[in-house]
Chains A and B, each alone.
Chain A
Amino acid sequence: MSRIDDFVEDRPESRCDRVSTRAGAGLEWGVTCLIDAQPGMCGSVARTDLDAKDAALLRAMGLSPNVRVRVCRRGTPCILEIVGREGCGCRIGLAPELARHIFLDTVID
């Protein structure tokens, strides 16, 4: 288990600036399927196993590998915020059929 602060130091590009890191809390990193991700959870896109057409569309919409995201809502639709630099980004709504093929590197409480 690694502390969030250590992780942030090691992989600054994965840090979600928009969410308090609650330094010192018992947190660990892991891979979470987007369909299971809780609202407020924050992380980066680890991998996807979408079909080529959907993958290309989502990537063009901004869901690129390692891009930072924040889960805003789970269920139908799953809403996530793509967190660009300085808070720039956009919100994407996804059907659960897509959300279950997207995996995030996330902070697990």
Chain B
Amino acid sequence: MSECPRCDDSVSVGTSADEIAVRTVALLGNPNTGKTTLFNQLSGLRHKTSNFPGTTQEARVGVIRAANGMPNGADENSSDAGGETHLVDLPGIYSLELDQTEAEICRRVLAGKLSPKGEETREPDALLVVADATNLIRNLSLVGEGLSQRLPTVVVITMIDLARRMGVRVAPEQLEAQIGCPVVLCNPRSGEGVNEILPALDRARVSNRTPPGDRDALERWAESVYSLSTEHSLPCAAGEHGSARWMASSRLTDRLDNLLTHPISGLLSFAVVMAGLFMVIFKLATYPMDWIELVFARLGGLIEGTMPEGILREFLAQGVVGGIGATVIFLPQICLLFFLISILEDTGYLARAAFLMDRLLRPFGLPGLSFVPFLSSHACALPGIMSARAIPDRREKLATILVAPFMTCSARIPVYVLMISILFRDRPIAAGLAFVGCYALGIGAGLFSALIARRTILKGPSRPMALELPTYKVPSLRTAAIATYDRGMTFLKNAGTNILAICVVLWWLSAFPHVPPPGETVMLRDQAQTIRQAMDGVAANGSPVVAMTDADKAAAVAKIEELEASADRAEARHALSNSFAGRLGRVIEPVFRPLGFDWQLSVGVLTSFAAREVFVSTMAVMVAGVDDAEDAGVRDQIAHATRDDGVTPIFTEAVAWSALVFYVLAMQCLPTLAVTAREAGGVKWAVLQLAWMSVVAYAAAWVVMRVVG
């Protein structure tokens, strides 16, 4: 027995009566060892996602309640029954000694100097090290480093099914004897052995072995432990059954790698995969998006129908429900995107695609890993920017974050549809090409901006890419579903806080101050009232009139509806025109005049800072007086709307082009700026992003105005 009190076999976690109510277990392991799948198996949906303070590294903390809801029916008689285990998923690393942010985070968490937001900062009660049985020698080096932390430890050996197929059998008792702490064999995908982890954690102890600190000696130690704790049933000589099968699998992997990373076939397959991905996203997401739109419309209607007229009703119906609805409508696209990305990642394809993209992005100073943030940004820049956390080099990560919002997000699409329908009426092929051109312009501007950033403010060498290529496998739907749930919740949390606040402010700007209805409205409503009275058999002066026939009554009802709709439109337009937003629009109009924008378009630019798609509904209110831009009639009204002189159209061909280019390139999303400030580590980056994108958008729109106009 060791002299160190913590090395005493009796020192374990979660067993004694005076044990603390919550124990913290850190989950450490190499990338691609099944660590995340194991985390999901253990905690399911009972986890929260935050980050490690002062870093952009995502932190997931799983809550495991032993007494109620043991994973996969684990032993409820465990001594920890009734207690709660917080499982901290550390970033996947190859060594604790590496000069990397991820390794630094792991070191600090294990030393009790850092913990995920919301967790108490103290040394973990236990360490769970995950090691892949198919690459055990390398994984044992990290196990050795973990044991050196002198924490009660359990080692989980994963991928045992694959290792068995390769003829490798890990003997847990022998391995336990070699490393001095409990060992569990499991297969996180199937759940085999997962039940044994919690009981093993009750027996976790500080190892009485001291692995060497020197890298050479550590690797020799790992080899020695491997030799003494594994049995090999299938010698790996060519021709033997197991080996031959493995070699065949290896040859198949070679062929697939060649196909998927080849400059031509790789790009073609990438194009097919991406086309499929976006087709699925935009086709399938349409249905839930329609449902969400309907639910929020009904909710708004319910509020307007049940609450008494007043500011509170307007605030709830238009500010809160309208604002959140405009954002939440994109949730299906975001969920589908992350589900499919998770599936692609799990198959092993994304690592290959990252190399393929590295070839294309490297000339612009970006790593291949930037392609995932760019891909995500095509749904929404918020999760796109957050996924830049996976880029290890700080300069490359910053460059990716700064240019990600140039990618065409879903919120731009309604604007593209409106402008392109104005420009290419009844010319579907030209409209389609223009649509593709908008995407290409966004990507091109992003890459160009990245190049400039990497040659100026983010100057520095590019780190060449080295990436482990995981084996090709059938993806886990459970892992994809949990990743989707995580991303969806993060998005909803953002929609319920930052975006809601911004929407409320913009609603207030466009709803206040209240002004009396214009004379035109009063006159229209009077006319409607007169017809209504006539239908009731009473003249305007109160004297009886001849009763109407049924046909006359139908015509009168139609006329009343038309007059009231015209009155509503005029009133809404008058209100917006005199609101704070309208006044601001007139103030900033001179700034946008060189782009051909009048004050109404300027108001559209202003309000679309809440969400770009708000531009369309703002224009609908401004020029048509109704908040329903989906109606083709309203689109026509926008297309033919005139300026204050009543003659000059707002959208001449040049202005429509100018506005389209402006919206492709402009940074008009305050939530994105908030996320940029958080992820890049300072408001200055968000300010730079806003300034640069605004300058690029303005300059490009100005040039277009001059060329087309």
CB-based nearest A residue for B233: A86
- Within 8 Å of chain A (Cβ to Cβ): is B99? yes
Within 8 A of B (CB), among A52-99: 53-54, 56-62, 64, 72-73, 76-77, 79, 81-82, 84-98
Do A18 and B236 have beta carbons less than 8 Å apart? yes
Do A90 and B466 have beta carbons less than 8 Å apart? no
Q: Which range holds the interface residue count of chain B?
A: 35 or more
Q: Provide the B464-481 mask, 1 if CB < 8 A to any CB of A, else 0.
A: 111111110000000000
B240 smallest CB distance to A (angstroms): 10
Do B138 and A92 have beta carbons less than 8 Å apart? no
Chain A binder among B163-171, B179-187, B499-507, B609-617: B163-171
- Within 8 Å of chain B (Cβ to Cβ): is A17? yes
B220 smallest CB distance to A (angstroms): 10
- Within 8 Å of chain B (Cβ to Cβ): is A20? yes
Do B254 and A88 have beta carbons less than 8 Å apart? no
A49 smallest CB distance to B (angstroms): 14
Q: How far is the CA of A54 from the CA of B134 in the complex (A)?
A: 24
Do A56 and B99 have beta carbons less than 8 Å apart? yes
Measured between beta carbons, the chain B residues less than 8 angstroms from A90 are 32, 134-135, 138, 468-469
Do A87 and B236 have beta carbons less than 8 Å apart? yes
Measured between beta carbons, the chain A residues less than 8 angstroms from B359 are 76
Q: Indicate whether A60 sits within 8 Å of B141 (C-beta atoms), given known contacts A53-B99, A85-B226.
A: yes
CB-based nearest B residue for A77: B355
Q: Indicate whether A86 sits within 8 Å of B236 (C-beta atoms), given known contacts A56-B97, A60-B141.
A: yes
Q: Which range holds the interface residue count of chain A?
A: 35 or more
Measured between beta carbons, the chain B residues less than 8 angstroms from A98 are 464-466
Do B247 and A73 have beta carbons less than 8 Å apart? no
Q: How far is the CA of A44 from the CA of B89 in the complex (A)?
A: 35
- Within 8 Å of chain A (Cβ to Cβ): is B358? yes
Do B138 and A61 have beta carbons less than 8 Å apart? yes
Q: How far is the CA of A81 from the CA of B253 in the complex (A)?
A: 11
Measured between beta carbons, the chain A residues less than 8 angstroms from B226 are 85
Measured between beta carbons, the chain B residues less than 8 angstroms from A76 are 261, 263, 355, 358-359
Residues of A within 8 A of B (CB): 17-18, 20, 39, 53-54, 56-62, 64, 72-73, 76-77, 79, 81-82, 84-98
17 contacts between A and B (CB under 8 A): A17-B236, A54-B463, A58-B466, A60-B98, A62-B135, A76-B261, A76-B355, A77-B465, A79-B261, A85-B236, A86-B232, A87-B236, A89-B134, A92-B466, A92-B468, A94-B464, A94-B465
Residues of B within 8 A of A (CB): 32, 94-95, 97-100, 134-138, 141, 163, 166-168, 215, 219, 226, 232, 234-238, 243, 246-247, 250, 253-254, 257-258, 261, 263, 351-352, 355, 358-359, 463-471
